[in-house]
Amino acid sequence: MTDTIAHSYPFGAPDRLNLDPRYAELRRDEPLVRVRLPYGEPAWLATRYADVRMVLGDSRFSRAAAVGRDEPRNVPEQRESGILGMDPPEHTRLRRVVAKAFTARRVEELRPRTRRIADELVDGMLAAGAPADLVAHVATPLPIRVICDLLGVPVADQDRFHTWSEAIVSTTALTPERAQKYLDNLLSYMAGLVEQRRRTPTDDLIGAMVRTRDSDADRLTEDELVRLAAGLLAAGHETTVNQIPNLVYVLLTNPEQWARLRAEPELVPSAVEELMRFIPLGATAAFPRYATEDVEVGGVLVRAGEPVIVSIHSANRDERAFAEPDVIDLARSVNPHLGFGHGVHHCVGAQLARMELQVVLGTLLDRTPDLRLAVSEPELTWKSGLLVRGLTSLPVSW
């Protein structure tokens, strides 16, 4: 790849949940384009659905090949990415340790408990009176309590580990020194829970992981155990904490959509899928894949050793894959969106996140059918310097 780079990337700071119009231009004119991120070597950026899906699913593109390279990234330092930086069979070995906890059947078993949590949190919000912050009352505590139940993490520690988890999703929100301190704190905390399980075995996911480690050391090293558990705790709530208010924001700023769901609550599952497609949760593309041989992508030859980053959110708005992609269709019947990724790194917690989003949306429709923003849309404030987009607060009335 030459040093003549067409675009600096990302194109600009995120604007609420709007997708930069340059993605549509690139899909039309230059679907695979050379870019330079703030740090690291140049990369290709894929913007069309077919190309993004190919790069994510084709074994000729490797995450592990980033080791030892000046990986394209948004932060000065190169960070350890754990299981997200692995290829099969190493990736498969670790994923199998936890995959059984996130099957559709296991997640459905958690749905009644999640509904009870949602009702309890909405009770608290109603008792506090309007206006109330949906982020503080519902969106933040619900995913934390669910993942704590699943893993076996004390929910009383949520303020600490929620703060430390920001290190996982921070780009510029934290200094490199603070991000490292938070990560060290999170890993140390998780190592302590692992030792507790050795002294007092439990039936939760951390307990199961410890038994796997201690009965078959070849399956999982101690460091892998701690990092995997910490990653599940952080990723298991951080994205959903932000996506819940994102969904509600889109529905309340498109009141005809909220009214439709209120009239047709049976659409909640398809509505969650459509909003996962429509909302660009990620602030920027990340996690480059390196070509292990020459590969043609979208009519362009990517040479062996060249990194490719993919815009999932551009792919989810590709008119070649979705009819009227910029229109929200809560009843969209064919919706193969990439909101949870694709290929070997498809989100292991996708079913859990789906269920949580469905439960929260259904509970709010049932308990607060007249939900509305308590401030004007321009008064809302958004987080910055993170890999994900989200609101700092969402004041609502009912």
Give the model's pLDDT for residue 23: 97
- What is the torsional sign of CA 212, 218, 224, 228? negative
CA 169 – CA 240 distance, rounded (Å): 12
**Greater pLDDT, 244 or 175:** 244
Residue 302, class by beta-carbon neighbours within 10 Å (0-12 exposed, 13-18 middle, 19+ buried)? Answer: buried
Task: Please write the tens of the pLDDT for every residue from 96-112.
Answer: 889 888 988 989 999 99
For 129: left if phi > 0, alpha if psi spans -120 to 50, otherwise beta; the answer is left
**What is the domain partition of the chain in residue ranges?**
7-397
Average pLDDT, the chain: 94
pLDDT at 234 over 50: yes
pLDDT at 309 over 90: yes
Average pLDDT over residues 329-345: 96
Give the model's pLDDT for residue 4: 55
CA 48 – CA 50 distance, rounded (Å): 6
Average pLDDT over residues 143-161: 92
Task: Please write the tens of the pLDDT for every residue from 170-183.
Answer: 888 888 889 899 99
Average pLDDT over residues 338-356: 95
Average pLDDT over residues 310-335: 97
Counting residues of the chain whose pLDDT is more than 70, the rounded percentage is 98
- What is the torsional sign of CA 384, 388, 393, 396? positive
Counting residues of the chain whose pLDDT is more than 90, the rounded percentage is 80
Give the model's pLDDT for residue 76: 86
Lowest-confidence pick of 3-12, 157-166, 378-387: 3-12
Write down the CATH number for the domain with range 7-397.
1.10.630.10
CA 265 – CA 130 distance, rounded (Å): 24
CA 114 – CA 111 distance, rounded (Å): 5
Task: Please write the tens of the pLDDT for every residue from 186-223.
Answer: 999 999 999 999 999 999 999 999 999 998 877 889 99
Average pLDDT over residues 236-261: 95
In the block, tokens 């780079």 appear at: 5
Q: Which two tokens stand for residue 330?
A: 């809560």
Q: Among candidates 49, 48, 42, which has minimal Cα distance to 308?
A: 42
Average pLDDT over residues 285-304: 96
User: How do strand 300-302 and strand 372-373 relate by DSSP bridges?
Assistant: unpaired
Query: DSSP code of 79?
Result: P
Give the model's pLDDT for residue 2: 46
Q: Euclidean distance between the first and final Cα of the chain, in Å? A: 55
Kindly report the pTM of this predicted structure.
Answer: 0.93
Q: Among candidates 147, 169, 172, which has minimal Cα distance to 157?
A: 147
pLDDT at 3 over 70: no
Average pLDDT over residues 280-296: 95
User: How do strand 307-310 and strand 43-46 relate by DSSP bridges?
Assistant: parallel
Task: Please write the tens of the pLDDT for every residue from 352-364.
Answer: 999 999 999 999 9
Contacts of residue 386, Cβ cutoff 8 Å, sequence gap at least 6? 166, 169, 170, 171, 173, 283
pLDDT at 5 over 70: no
DSSP helix/strand/coil, 246 = helix
Task: Please write the tens of the pLDDT for every residue from 75-133.
Answer: 888 888 888 899 999 999 999 889 888 988 989 999 999 999 999 999 999 999 999 99
Measure CA 151 to chain center: 18
CA 43 – CA 290 distance, rounded (Å): 9
